[in-house]
Structure 1
Amino acid sequence: MIEFVVKGEEFGDLAALGISYGLSITFRRVLAVGDFEREWIYAVMETGVWGAMLLSPCPDGLPCFRDPERAVEFSESRQTPVGYSGEEPAAVPYRISTFNKNYLKPRRWIRCRDISSDKSYLPLFACIYNLLKLRDDVPIVVSDVCLGFNEAERPDFQALPTYIQPRALADVVDVSVQPIPASAIARGILLGGYKAGPVVAISKGADHAAAELGGYLVDLNAPGDPCELFARGTVGYSPSLFSGRYLVDPDLCDRCGDCFITNCDALKQGERGVPELLSSCVGCGACALMCTRGAIWREGDLFKVFLR
């Protein structure tokens, strides 16, 4: 039984695959019709699916089925996309999605190629981190960009339907399967019925459909303040909003360590646990965004208060 049919002629082939992928990881059974490049299919195969994903016409290298029920059974049991060469079945609702991202293994859905090393995205993820930590639901963040993370320090997520706070800004992203666009994947997750929390897309593309379906969008091609995401629904990103020369006031610092969640190499723990900004600091402002005491402040600001 197929629940969704997504066609490349309607959305574009890459977006259709992304929507189908988002549907499939929310336990949905989906048929994607289009001309899908091998690289795109490999990205899906590498991370796997949870529902069923049938691709038509049958791509080279995938098992091919004419019977939709056999195709669905194989795809679900092997957690992999399969080819389909039969007649297009009618889409029939099958079940209510019970998908919750915290049932997943940490970083299962992460396949990053565009990993930022220039700190330009640190303030963006600091904003998202601060917004998410205030929530008591289970948000899911799909992104076209990623931060590098330490493989030795994996987040301690548990297989429970509760939100576990990430330990670093890099762990804010839950799904990133480049080159498949985040906006399309988020759209599929929303269509799949994800209700455990907000769906956030951090996108380099111009597709705002996820926001129109009730999700939240950070458009990296537009200017704006990502710290206002939940207030506005759709925002851009302007790193210059947060840039400057930053100082540390040791009298205000309570040694909480929140600034080190950025994993920024320009920040080190100094005497008595007070952070020190090194000469390599580029003044991105991420550590100040993370500081809840206002101990890291921008030179020239009238008051020593944290930015958000």
Structure 2
Amino acid sequence: MIEFVVRGEELGDLTALGISYGLSITFRRALAVGRFDKEWIAAILETGVWGALLLSPCPDGLPCFRDLEEAVRFSELRQIPVGYDGEEPAAAPYRVSTFNKNYLKPRRWIRCREISRDKAYLPLFACLYNLLKLRVDVPIVVSDICLEFGDAERPDFQVLPTYISPRTLADVVDVSVQPIPSSAIARGILLGGYKAGPVVAISRGADGAAVELGGYLVDLDASGNPCELFSRGVVGYSPSLFSGRYVVDPDLCDRCGDCFITNCDALRQGERGVPELLSSCVGCGACALMCTRGAIRREGDFLKVFLR
């Protein structure tokens, strides 16, 4: 199943790829149709995806599939983009959009060909640092500019949005995949319905599409005070949405194994391959988010709509 089809002939190939990439790193399944340069694809291969990213027609150097479900499964399990040359599918909503700032490896979605040492940018990042450090939601900052990083954070394997308080100016940026424009990636994140916090694009001469979708744009070529970005604030995430004890319904489980992608220590394979939650479960809901069959749910919660 594909959730979004993004066409280069309508948006431009690089923009279409950027939007699709933004969808895929927020746990969405996207099909990008266009002609994509090897350099662009190399940047995505280096950082990886999270949901599924299918490129059509099949680019050179990528696994190529004609079966849609096989392509989606391969992309999700290996967390890489793949080629697809089958019939174009109809798009349908499938999952909730989410983002973990530190999934699998520190700063996963950062690829800096150039580290900026231009002191002119320091006031901007200092301002964003002060604004974001005090927030209790999970903002995503996508930037065309990278600053030099310090020590890496401890990896967090959970799927749900994880707030990491920035400790340096460089920590402000969550996604930077040069040469893919940050404005396009931010559009993908917003199109996917990300609601856990504000989405900020730091770009040069960017269009205002991200703003129209409810995001924020820091245009490096424009004047103005970026510190006014969050004067009203956008808060759509509450940890209480995901807290509580979770249970597994074996009658609904088809043993697909999606829940084990979380690498959670509180989840093990039980009798007949049905997952079991151990007493060490903290009720984060990561496995329930991964489960698209409704077999894992919060105890007493019969509404699966939010997690689909």
- TM-score normalized by the length of structure 2: 0.71
Q: CA deviation at 1:7?
A: 0.3
Q: Contact 1:155–1:171 (CA<8 Å) still a contact in 2? A: no
Q: Kindly provide the CA deviation profile for residues 87-106 of structure 1, in whole angstroms up to 9, marking residues without a partner as x.
A: 11111111222434354532
Aligned partners of 1:93, 1:162: CA distance in 2, in Å?
Answer: 23
The RMSD of aligned alpha carbons is 1.7
Q: CA deviation at 1:156?
A: 4.7
Aligned partners of 2:66, 2:154: CA distance in 1, in Å?
Answer: 42
Aligned partners of 2:40, 2:103: CA distance in 1, in Å?
Answer: 25
Aligned to 2:61: 61
Aligned partners of 1:228, 1:188: CA distance in 2, in Å?
Answer: 24
Q: CA deviation at 1:55?
A: 0.3
Aligned partners of 1:137, 1:104: CA distance in 2, in Å?
Answer: 21
Aligned partners of 1:175, 1:148: CA distance in 2, in Å?
Answer: 14
Aligned partners of 1:229, 1:105: CA distance in 2, in Å?
Answer: 30
Aligned partners of 1:170, 1:156: CA distance in 2, in Å?
Answer: 16
Q: Which runs of 5+ in 1 are unaligned?
A: 234-308
Does the C-alpha gap of structure 1 residues 199 and 112 become closer, same or farther in structure 2, counting only changes over 3 Å?
same
Does structure 1 residue 86 correspond to structure 2 residue 86? yes
Q: What fraction of aligned residue pairs are identical, expressed as a percent?
A: 81
Q: Which amino acid aligns with 2:147?
A: L
Aligned partners of 2:232, 2:112: CA distance in 1, in Å?
Answer: 28
Aligned to 1:201: 201
Aligned to 2:224: 224
Aligned partners of 2:44, 2:156: CA distance in 1, in Å?
Answer: 24
- TM-score normalized by the length of structure 1: 0.71
Does the C-alpha gap of structure 1 residues 176 and 199 become closer, same or farther in structure 2, counting only changes over 3 Å?
same
Aligned partners of 1:181, 1:170: CA distance in 2, in Å?
Answer: 18
Q: Which amino acid aligns with 2:89?
A: P
Aligned partners of 1:230, 1:195: CA distance in 2, in Å?
Answer: 15
Aligned partners of 1:104, 1:128: CA distance in 2, in Å?
Answer: 25
Aligned to 2:41: 41
Aligned to 2:152: 154
* Matched residue count: 231
SS class of match (1:120) = helix
Q: Contact 1:218–1:226 (CA<8 Å) still a contact in 2? A: yes
Q: Contact 2:101–2:162 (CA<8 Å) still a contact in 1? A: no
Does the C-alpha gap of structure 1 residues 102 and 196 become closer, same or farther in structure 2, counting only changes over 3 Å?
farther
Aligned partners of 2:5, 2:35: CA distance in 1, in Å?
Answer: 15
Q: CA deviation at 1:52?
A: 0.5
Aligned to 1:237: none
Does structure 1 residue 110 correspond to structure 2 residue 110? yes
SS class of match (2:218) = strand
Q: CA deviation at 1:214?
A: 0.6
Aligned partners of 1:37, 1:232: CA distance in 2, in Å?
Answer: 40
Equivalence map 1:4-15=2 (5 Å): 4-15=4-15
Equivalence map 1:125-144=2 (5 Å): 125-144=125-144
Q: Kindly provide the CA deviation profile for residues 130-185 of structure 1, in whole angstroms up to 9, marking residues without a partner as x.
A: 111221111110000011123xx223564564422111101110000000000000
Q: Kindly provide the CA deviation profile for residues 210-247 of structure 1, in whole angstroms up to 9, marking residues without a partner as x.
A: 111111110011111111122389xxxxxxxxxxxxxx
Aligned partners of 1:164, 1:51: CA distance in 2, in Å?
Answer: 22
Aligned partners of 1:92, 1:145: CA distance in 2, in Å?
Answer: 34
Aligned partners of 1:102, 1:196: CA distance in 2, in Å?
Answer: 15
List structure 1 segments (4+ residues) > 6 angstroms apart after TM superposition.
none
